[in-house]
Structure 1
Amino acid sequence: MKSQPFLIPPPKMRFSTPQTTPTYGYISVVIPTLLAKGGQLYSGRGLPLVQPRQIHSSNGFLQLNLSVQVGEFTVDWLTLSRRSYNGEFPGPTWCIKAGDVVNLTLTNKLQKPDFVSKHNNLQFPNHTNIHTHGLHISGLRPHDNVFVNVTPENGQYHYNYPIVSDHPAGTYWYHPHLHGSVDFQTNSGMSGMIIVEDPTDSTTPQHLLDASCPGKCEHDVQLIFQSLLFYTGRGFASAQQSMHDRLFT
C-alpha cells in the first residue's frame, strides 16, 4: 500500500528547535524535522538540499538589501506562506572578512494593520528589525540595536556593522529581534547565516586552507534547522491564531 502523508503529527512528537549548526561551509538547507520518541524519523520526502544565495564582501565592504516580505515554499504536498527575507528560505548568507564594513538596508514590505496586545504578549507580527549573533559589534544605533522598530508598508532602516580587524573566523547567524514577535518571525523562516571567512595569510594553517572556504568551498556544508512545521501545542499555528495572522495556514 502506498504511504500517505499525515496531516496531524502523531502523539508524543517533538520538533527540533530553531538553531544554527556551526559547521564549516556554505551549503544550506532548511529541514522541518519531526522526531518521535526514541528518535524515529517522521516526515515526507522533505525539501532537497538547497544552496542559499551568497552575498560576498568586496574591497572591504558588504552592501546588503534585505526585504521583509511574504514568500511561499512547498514541502511535498503542502505549500506554506511565511514571512521571509527577500522571499528566500533561508535568508541569504553574508560572507565577510575581519575588518570589513557591512552596510545593510532593511525594508519592511509587510502590510498594516498589525496586531497589538499587552507588553510581553505575542504581538507585532508585521513590525520587525534585525539582530546578529556572534559579531563583535556595538549595540547602539545604527549598529546592532534591538530596539529599532521598522514599521510595515515600506518602513526602512540603515544598519552599519564595522567588523573588527581581529574578529574570529566562524559561522554566525541573524534573525529578527522585535519584542513580541522574535520567536514568531524566526520560526516563520526569517533567519540566515553569517560567515566570517578564515584569513588566507600565514595565520591560517595550510591544511585548513586546502580543505575549506574561501578557496575550497566544495568540502563545506552549512545547515539551518527550523521548526517551520511545528503545529502542535504552543507551535507556530497557535501563535498565528493568537495574533489573528492573515497568513494563517
Structure 2
Amino acid sequence: MASYGAVPTNPDPAVEDEVESLRREEAMRRGRRAAAVIGLAGALVVACVLSFVHLPTSRTASPAMRTSIENMAEDEGKDAFLEPPRVIADASAEYVDVHLELGVSRIQVGDVSMHMRSFNHDFPAPTIVVRRGQTLRVMLWNKLESDANAGQAMNAFRRPNTTVLHTHGLHVSPVDSDNIYRSIEPGMHAHFIYPIPKNHPIGTFWLHPHYHGSTTLQSAYGAFAALLVEDEEPSSSKTASDVEVDEDHVMLVGWVDVGSGKRTDILEDERLSGSAMDVSLKPKGYASNGGFLAVNGRPNSTLTMRVGELHRWRIVNAVVDGVLRIVIEDDQACSVAEIAADGITYEAPRQVSSKHGVLIAPGSRRDLLIRCIEDTMVRSVLDADRGGVDEKILRYLGNGTNIAAGEVVRINVHGKTSNGSSKLESARSGVNLGSESGNTAEPLKDLREHEPAVRKVVEYTQGGPSTPKIEREGNKYTFYGINGQPYSPEIATLTVKLDQVVEWTIRNENCLDGSPALESHPFHLHTNHFQIVNVSSPNTGDYSPDFAVGDWRDTIAVPAPGNVTIRWVARDFTGPDARVNMSIGMGMGMGTGMSVDL
C-alpha cells in the first residue's frame, strides 16, 4: 500500500504560471476581506483567498465567468450568524476549480485571537458547491513552515505542517482522487482531481486535512470546508435538493479549547507534536475553561428568521473529539425535521423532539428542516443539562465519551404577533423527499436480505484504566488499534472484492485490561457508504440514538460497550481504500488500511 504514496504531489508545469500569479496577487492584498479570480488554462479559477466579501455574482454568470463566489454571509455584527461564502461554477461548466492555501493566520474566535492553521486565511474556508457530472479540481498550496524538526513517530502527534486532503463522504477514487497516502510537505503545492459521478448522492459533505499525525492539529483548528453536491440541473430554490426552502445554511460546528490540558487543547497538541508555531494568544494567558463551540468560526451567534419560514440547516460535526447532541429548547417555538444524514436523503422526514434531539458523531453530517414562530436557543447538551432526557443516550455512548456541550445558535424570529397567536406549522408539512431519495447511487439498495459473501469482525483495541501507557518520542499515549494492531500505512489488514456483499461487525466491547469499553469511538469508511443491519449493546439492547437499522451512512457512533453490524458493496473503485476512526484515536493508531480487488 505504501506505493500509493508515490503519487506526484507537485502539479505539472502548465500551472506554474498560476502559482506565480497567486504569489503576485498575495503581495497586492490589503486586509483580510478579499477574493481573487485567477485564470487557468482558459477557465477562471476561484482563488477564494479570503472570505466574507460581497461580490456581485450569480449562478447564471456569463460564459466567460464560469466560476463564481456567492456570498451568503449575514454579517450584520459580530454576534450575527455568519454563512461562509460559496464557490459555485456555472451549470454548464465542466470543472469547478478551487485554490486552497494552508497557512498560519491570526484568527479571532469570540474573546480570544490566536495563530491557527487555516485555509485561505480565514475560519472556516468557503463552501464548495459541485454538481453531478462536474469535476472538482483543487490546487492545494502548503505555505506552512518546515516541520523537519518536529515529531516523526508513527501513531503520535507528528509532522504538524505536512498535509493531504480528504473529501469526507465523497464517492470518488481513493487512488486517483481521495488518496490520503500522499504527503504534501511545507512549501509544496499539489492538484487533487475529483470527478463526481452522475449518480452521486445529492447532499452535504466536507473537506479537511488527513495526514496521519497532523489531522487534529489542522482540521480541528480551522482548516476545513463544507462541500455540497447538487443535481446536474440547478435548483430553482435556495437549496441543493428538491426541497423548497426559504434559506439554506451551512453550519460547521467546531470546538475551541485553549489551556485546558485535555487532549483537545491546542496548546497541548502543539507541544506533543513538537511544533514550532507560536500560537500567540491574545489576551496572553487566556484559558477557555475546557473549550467552547464555534459555528462557522463564531461562538454564540444569532440567526434571524421570519415567522413560518422554512430553513435548511446542513450541520457538520467538525469537533475532532466530541459528539454533538443538538436540541431546540422549546418544542412550541420551532418544529424540526431531520431529512438526511451523511449526504443520504431519507425516504421521509423524521420529526425531531427536544427530548431526544439529534445526535451527530465526529465527522458526520445532518440536514435539518426548521420552522419557527418564537425566539429560542439551540444547544448541544449533556444529560445533566436537561431533565427528562432519555438516559439510554448516555448509556449508549458510555461514560468516557465527550459530548461537546454549549450554545450552537440563538434564533431570533421576526414578524411575531403581539398576542402570540401564530400557529406553528410542522417542518415536515408539504415536504416530499421521494424524488431526491431516488437520486442516490445504485449500490445504495437494501442489503439486509442479501447473503454476505464475506463476514469479518473489526474490533477496536484500546488501553483501559490499568493498561500501561506507550511512550513515543518522550510522550505517553494510550494504545489504540484495530484487531490488536496499531495503524500502519504499509499494511492493508482488510481486503474485499468488487461486487461482493461484505458484512463487518464493528466491536467496541472491551479494553486490553479486560474492563468494558467506556468511549464511543466513531467508525468512518472512506469512499463508500454502508448500511447498518444490526446494533447491540448490553446497556441499551438494539437501541441507537444515532441511526435506525437500515440507514446508509459513512460515519457512525459505535456504542460503548457494544457493536454495530454493517453491509456494503464496492462497485467500482479498486486499490487501497481506508476504514478509519475519525477521532483522535485514529491519529494514535485506531485505524487500518483496506484494499479493493477485482
TM over 0.5: yes
- CA deviations over 1:21-41 (Å, ceiling 9, x no partner): xxxxx9689xxxxxxxxxxxx
Give the AA of the match of 1:150. I
**What amino acid sits opposite 1:136 in the alignment?**
H
Partner residue, 1:238: 268
Which among 100, 115, 136 is matched to residue 134 of structure 2? Answer: 100
1:247 paired to 2:278: yes
Using the TM superposition, give the Cα deviation of residue 170 of structure 1 relative to its aligned residue in structure 2, in angstroms: 0.1
How far the C-alpha of 1:51 sits from its partner, in A, is: 2.2
2:252 matches 1:221: no
Aligned residues: 201
Tell me the distance in 2 between the aligned counterparts of 1:27 and 1:174: 19
**Matched residue, 1:37:** none
Q: CA deviation at 1:53?
A: 2.5
- Kindly indicate whether the alpha-carbon contact (under 8 Å) linking 2:123 and 2:222 is maintained by their aligned counterparts in 1: yes
Determine if the alignment matches structure 1 residue 56 to structure 2 residue 84: no
**8 Å Cα contact 1:55/1:95 also seen in 2:** yes
Name structure 2 gaps, 5 residues minimum: 1-70, 282-598
Q: Report the equivalent of 2:145.
A: 111
Measured on the aligned residues, the alpha-carbon RMSD in Å equals 2.7
3-state DSSP of counterpart to 1:72? strand
The answer on 1:137 being equivalent to 2:172 is yes
> Which moved further from structure 2: 111-120 or 171-180?
111-120
Tell me the alpha carbon deviations over residues 106-130 of structure 1, each in whole angstroms, 9 at most, x when there is no partner: 1100011441231111101111110
CA distance in 2, matches of 1:211, 1:46: 25
Alignment-mate amino acid for residue 212 of structure 1: T
| Residues 1:219 and 1:240: Cα distance change in structure 2 (over 3 Å) | same
Output the amino acid matched with 2:252. I
CA distance in 2 between counterparts of 1:65 and 1:160 reads: 12
Distance 2:108 2:135 in 1: 36
- SS of 1:107's equivalent in the other structure is strand
Q: CA deviation at 1:242?
A: 1.4
1:2-21 → structure 2 map (5 Å cutoff): none
How far apart are 1:183 and its partner, in Å?
1.5
Residue pair 1:28, 1:224 contacting (<8 A) in 2 also: no
How far residue 229 of structure 1 moved from its aligned partner, in angstroms, is 2.7
The structure with the larger Rg is: 2
Aligned-partner Cα distance in 2 for 1:160–1:135: 12
Residue 199 of structure 1 and its aligned partner are, at CA, apart by 4.8
Cα offsets for 1:72-107 (capped at 9, x unmatched): 221343211100111121112111111110111111
Cα distance, 1:214 vs structure 2: 7.7
In the other structure, the counterpart of 2:532 is none
Alignment of 1:22-41 (within 5 A): none
For 2:204, the equivalent position in structure 1 comes to 171
Rounded Cα–Cα distance in structure 1 between residues aligned with 2:232 and 2:195:
17
Note closer, same or farther for the CA distance 1:149–1:217 as it changes in structure 2 (3 Å cut). farther
Contact 1:116–1:124 (Cα < 8 Å) also in 2 = yes
Change (3 A) 1:49 1:136: same
Aligned counterpart for 2:107 among listed residues 73, 77, 84? 73
The CA deviation at 1:173 is 0.3
Q: Does 1:122 align with 2:163?
A: no
1:183 aligns with 2:216: yes
Q: Which has the higher strand share?
A: 2
CA drift at 1:217: 7.4
Q: 1:218 to 1:237 in 2, by over 3 A?
A: farther
Q: Find the aligned partners of 1:196 and 1:148 in 2 and give their Cα distance.
A: 24
Q: What amino acid maps onto 1:156 in structure 2?
A: H
**Percent identity of equivalent pairs:** 26
User: Is residue 84–residue 250 contact of structure 2 (8 Å, CA) maintained in 1?
Assistant: no
TM-score by length of 2: 0.31
What is the Cα deviation at residue 152 of structure 1?
0.5
Quick one: structure 1 residues 161 and 237, their matched pair in 2 at CA, closer, same or farther if it must change by over 3 Å?
Answer: same
